[in-house]
A and B are shown apart, each in its own frame.
Chain A
Amino acid sequence: MTLEVIAAVLVGAAAVWLVLQPLIAPGRPSAPVFEPLDPEETPKGVALAALKEIEFDRETGKLSDEDYAYLKGKYTGVALEALRAESAEQAARGDSAAGGGLGDVEVMIAARVRALRSAATSAPPGAPSCPTCGPRPEADAVFCSTCARRLRQGGACAGCGAALGPASRYCERCGAGVAA
């Protein structure tokens, strides 16, 4: 009986701690990570898969020539549009690897590495931050010296002064939200 009460108290305490821990001790909330779509689920991927399927359906005799021409034209247009949008995005990002089909994960990892490095070495608190390349060491710069994009001021957490990564919505040291 006593043992059971102790077990019940332990279970209850463990459950309550598990649930309330983020509120009581908001130490390290895992920052929401942006996870890109699988390449197959992007507009480009969907259009490419559709083009492949059209070829296959014609080969199996499902599509008449007329329908094939129509669908092929339509989805080629969609695919080209997706490719153009992708290039435009990459150009906007100032990516030297345009056309290489650089995935979002890689951009993220690279940006993250840059942010950590510069934060660890030279970025003073309150330094401006580039949307692509992270916090910059030059306190009075207006444009990024790496990619020439306009810098965002105050790339540091208002709460604890830690440097913020690009597109951070929460400080990764203290968990405070970042005002957009």
Chain B
Amino acid sequence: MTDQAGSRTPGRRDFLRAGLALVILPPVQDSLSGRGDLGTVRDPSALGRPLAPTDPAENAAEIQAIELKLACNCGCTLDVFTCRTTDFSCTYSPRLHREVLALREQGLSAQQVLDAFVAKYGEKALMAPKPRGFNLAGYLLPGVAITTAGAALTWLISRRRAVAAAAGPSAAAPEVQASDEELARLQRALDEVDD
């Protein structure tokens, strides 16, 4: 039996199993191309600006954290980290990235780097303004407005309720004045409503 198995024509079950394996298993690359010598691309101009290799140290988490708080000034509305890893035609964000690295090398703390940026480029260098002075209005006004309006609403409702309570007990069910014939008619009308 066993030596015949190799020459046996594949049965329906084998076929299905093979098909199923094709569907379920993700395609797996046997070996990696390009290992060893570094290949070059045919048309480097189609790749945009050539980049310098990045050093793992310049992508350290604390550098990234600082850059996420700094705004790029190319008009992209993004932060420095996101802009330099997204908009590859932007020349500002890589330069700002170098500045951050340089400041860090001078031994400045994260906060000091941010302060140095504000001193150099103005407050717009931060992704969000510092919550002090006039900026506090920016942070607090919506919350204050909603709280005030909510309080006013609560007060208004409770006052109306007090007025209503003073006017008399409205909670008592109103007496229904109706003849039996009318009530029967109402019941008929209700039965006609298909809910």
Partner-binding segment picked from A17-25, A69-77, A131-139, A142-150: A69-77
Question: Do residues A83 and B173 form an inter-chain contact, with CB atoms below 8 A?
Answer: no
Min CB gap A147→B, angstroms: 23
Residues of A within 8 A of B175 (CB): 73
Is A101 in the interface zone, CB < 8 Å from B?
A: yes
Is B180 in the interface zone, CB < 8 Å from A?
A: no
Give the distance in Å from the alpha carbon of A141 to the alpha carbon of B173 in the complex: 52
Give the distance in Å from the alpha carbon of A77 to the alpha carbon of B175 in the complex: 8
Residues of B within 8 A of A83 (CB): 182, 185-186, 189
- Size of A's binding interface in residues, CB under 8 A: 20
Min CB gap B160→A, angstroms: 18
Is A99 in the interface zone, CB < 8 Å from B?
A: yes
Min CB gap A113→B, angstroms: 26
Binding site for A on B (CB under 8 A): 171-178, 182-183, 185-186, 189-190, 192-193, 195
Min CB gap A142→B, angstroms: 35
Is A171 in the interface zone, CB < 8 Å from B?
A: no
Question: Do residues A80 and B174 form an inter-chain contact, with CB atoms below 8 A?
Answer: no
* Leading 6 A-B pairs by shortest Cβ distance: A73-B173, A69-B173, A73-B174, A70-B173, A52-B195, A48-B193
Q: Could you list 30 examples of A-B contacts with CB < 8 Å?
A: A49-B193, A49-B195, A51-B190, A52-B190, A52-B193, A52-B195, A66-B171, A69-B173, A70-B171, A70-B172, A70-B174, A73-B173, A73-B174, A73-B176, A74-B173, A74-B174, A76-B176, A76-B178, A77-B176, A77-B177, A79-B186, A80-B176, A80-B178, A80-B182, A80-B183, A83-B182, A83-B185, A83-B186, A83-B189, A101-B189
